[in-house]
């Protein structure tokens, strides 16, 4: 994604649909059909309205995990939300109470919203084919490619969540309300067709105006095809990105510090926020409570398990269980690799010109989970750092303008590594080359694998660390079939630090209040909403949810 120049007005309209809720400027509501197809400016403006999809469903968006801005990483061992009351404590209710997800109430579902957007896209596709007289066929294909990218993205999210969904390939499918769901394989094939069309007909490898391009389409296709287990298609898509010519940013932290008009060399697609009128509230939701005690109430915090998964700078791991209680943790944290320091705030970390204080009674505080309903502070002894804007001093007014990186090159390399293990001509060595390229960026020693199973363990670890807090892990665990074994009948922990006259002492404490987490088998596929079943006589509920 390149510098925003002439699209400022269009992208401002897009971002008005985001966290600040300024206005809805969806062009298909503003113009009549005849007006849309009257000139290219109106067509362009209409297309820009579809870009709201990238914003609202991203980690900074208003639709991320329902309407609260929660990350699905909070449903794994990566993050623990502090609140245990309804609303603020939604992730924890899902972790511990099975009936928090039902066909009539499912905060993880985007069903209705996605289909509203799909309908608008299909209206555009119908109009450009049947009503537009001012474009050449090549121009039409380029525009259709752009909007089919977003339809593919919407169906990717629907299929990822529900496995079987209703495919609407055009306006004709909406002539009556009765249509059955398609099989999971058919759904993923539909995603593949849209994203492949987008890749083939988008007009540039790397656009300079902030719009989706060939690399964006191929990268998302590689992601989707891992879910589809179409590893040859995923492999080819990755290779199409690689040949375009991206590289890893030598500074991992730099990737997530960009604002409108700037980006890392690694970024393939990002959402830019132009100013305080077109902004997001990510900092308000995720900042340390010492920044502003009134800024947020759910306080997502990395767990001790997450911290324990970071390697030391020279490889190997800290044995946290064996550390004496009076250990000075400063040196322990300093021994960890760069991605830890770019991603996690810990007691003593430098932040906004001060030191983080997560000891009991410190400025940033510590609360035992469950002791207070809405503690407004960490319940693990850590805060997130990754994707927060350290220069942001307007926390409570939600004036956050740091860009959201939706797709980046490191993910493509990890997708490639995984596809290489399971494609028709597997290549374990080449797969490990991708893993080691990512490790080399942060000066970690190379790892090796004698077979695909060993290589896959390395890939899983690198995805956990490299993509931490970017919203991948919950869905990765589900597509790998690991969610039940990793997330059910377990508890995770934080680090409780007490200040003493001579220093500090620490203890590892359950951040689950002694209660085991749940992940029922049926959670592998989310239910179809009751409203769809009621209104669509051919749509049947998934067997697991009947």
Query: What mean pLDDT do residues 491-510 have?
Result: 96
pLDDT digits (tens, 9 = 90+) for 428-451: 999 999 999 999 999 999 999 999
- Asked if 520 and 487 touch (Cβ cutoff 8 Å), the reply is no
Whether residue 520 is contained in a domain is answered as: yes
Alpha helices in 50-89 (DSSP H): 52-56
Q: Is 148 left (phi over 0), alpha (psi -120 to 50) or beta?
A: alpha
pLDDT digits (tens, 9 = 90+) for 75-102: 999 999 999 887 788 899 999 999 999 9
Whether residue 529 is contained in a domain is answered as: yes
Q: What CATH code is carried by the domain that includes residue 363?
A: 1.25.40.390
- Asked if 82 and 377 touch (Cβ cutoff 8 Å), the reply is yes
Strand partners, 407: 269
Strand partners, 510: 493
Whether residue 162 is contained in a domain is answered as: no
Whether residue 148 is contained in a domain is answered as: no
Task: Give the count of beta carbons closer than 10 Å to the beta carbon of residue 244.
Answer: 17
Pairwise CA distance, residues 256 & 210, whole Å: 17
Query: Which pLDDT band, with edges at 50, 70 and 90, does 3 fall under?
Result: very low
pTM exceeding the 0.95 threshold for the entire prediction: no
Q: Give exposure, 33-72, as e/b (b: 16+ Cβ within 10 Å).
A: eeebbeeeebbbbbbbbbbbbbbbbbbbbbbbbeebbbbb
pLDDT at 205: 87
Whether residue 436 is contained in a domain is answered as: yes
Total domains present in the chain:
1
Whether residue 180 is contained in a domain is answered as: no
Whether residue 384 is contained in a domain is answered as: yes
* Structural domain that includes position 359: 68-108+281-400+427-546
pLDDT digits (tens, 9 = 90+) for 213-222: 999 999 999 9
pLDDT digits (tens, 9 = 90+) for 28-80: 444 567 789 999 999 999 999 999 999 999 998 866 555 456 899 999 999 99
- Asked if 275 and 20 touch (Cβ cutoff 8 Å), the reply is no
- Asked if 387 and 59 touch (Cβ cutoff 8 Å), the reply is yes
Whether residue 42 is contained in a domain is answered as: no
Best CA proximity match to 399, nearest among 305, 292, 530, 515: 292
């Amino acid at each position: 994604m390149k510098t925003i120049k002439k699209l400022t007005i269009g992208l401002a309209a897009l971002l008005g649909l985001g966290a600040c809720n300024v206005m809805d400027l969806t062009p298909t509501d503003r113009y009549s059909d005849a007006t849309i197809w009257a000139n290219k400016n109106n067509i362009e403006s209409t297309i820009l309205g579809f870009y709201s999809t990238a914003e609202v469903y991203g980690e900074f968006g208003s639709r991320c995990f329902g309407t609260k801005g929660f990350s699905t990483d909070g449903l794994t061992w990566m993050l623990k939300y502090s609140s245990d009351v309804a609303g603020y404590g939604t992730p924890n209710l899902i972790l511990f109470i099975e009936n928090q997800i039902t066909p009539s109430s499912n905060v993880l579902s985007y069903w209705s919203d996605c289909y509203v957007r799909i309908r608008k896209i299909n209206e555009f596709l119908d109009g450009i084919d049947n009503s537009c007289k001012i474009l050449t066929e090549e121009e039409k294909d380029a525009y259709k490619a752009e909007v089919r990218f977003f339809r593919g993205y919407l169906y990717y999210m629907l299929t990822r969540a529900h496995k079987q969904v209703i495919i609407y390939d055009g306006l004709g499918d909406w002539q009556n309300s009765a249509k059955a769901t398609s099989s999971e394989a058919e759904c993923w094939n539909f995603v593949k067709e849209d994203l492949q069309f987008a890749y083939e007909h988008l007009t540039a490898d790397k656009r300079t105006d902030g719009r989706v391009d060939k690399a964006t389409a191929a990268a998302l296709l590689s992601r989707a095809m891992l879910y589809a287990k179409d590893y040859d298609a995923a492999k080819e898509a990755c290779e199409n990105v690689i040949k375009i010519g991206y590289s890893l940013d030598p500074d991992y932290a730099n990737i997530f510090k960009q604002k409108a008009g700037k980006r890392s060399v690694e970024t393939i697609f990002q959402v830019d926020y132009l100013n305080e009128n077109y902004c997001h509230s990510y900092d308000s939701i995720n900042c340390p409570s010492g920044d502003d005690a009134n800024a947020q109430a759910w306080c997502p915090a990395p767990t001790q398990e997450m911290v324990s998964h970071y390697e030391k700078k020279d490889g190997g791991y800290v044995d946290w269980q064996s550390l004496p209680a009076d250990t000075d943790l400063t040196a322990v944290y300093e021994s960890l690799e760069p991605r830890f320091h770019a991603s996690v705030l810990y007691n003593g970390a430098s932040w906004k010109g001060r030191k983080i204080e997560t000891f009991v009674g410190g400025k940033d505080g510590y609360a035992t989970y469950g002791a207070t309903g809405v503690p407004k502070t960490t319940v693990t002894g850590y805060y997130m750092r990754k994707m927060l804007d350290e220069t942001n001093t307007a926390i409570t007014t939600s004036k956050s303008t740091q860009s959201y990186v939706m797709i980046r090159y490191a993910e493509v390399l990890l997708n490639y590594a995984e596809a290489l293990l399971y494609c028709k001509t597997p290549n374990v060595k080449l797969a490990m080359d991708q893993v080691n390229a990512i490790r080399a960026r942060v000066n970690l020693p190379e790892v090796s694998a004698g077979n695909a199973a060993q290589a896959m363990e390395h890939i899983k670890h690198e995805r956990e660390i490299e993509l931490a807090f970017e919203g991948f892990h919950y869905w990765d665990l589900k597509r790998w079939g690991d969610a039940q074994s990793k997330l059910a009948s377990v508890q995770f922990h934080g680090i409780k630090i007490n200040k003493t006259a001579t220093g500090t002492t620490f203890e590892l404490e359950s951040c689950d209040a002694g209660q085991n987490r749940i992940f029922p088998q049926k959670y592998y596929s989310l239910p179809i909403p009751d409203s769809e079943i009621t209104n669509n006589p051919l749509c049947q509920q998934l067997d697991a949810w009947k």
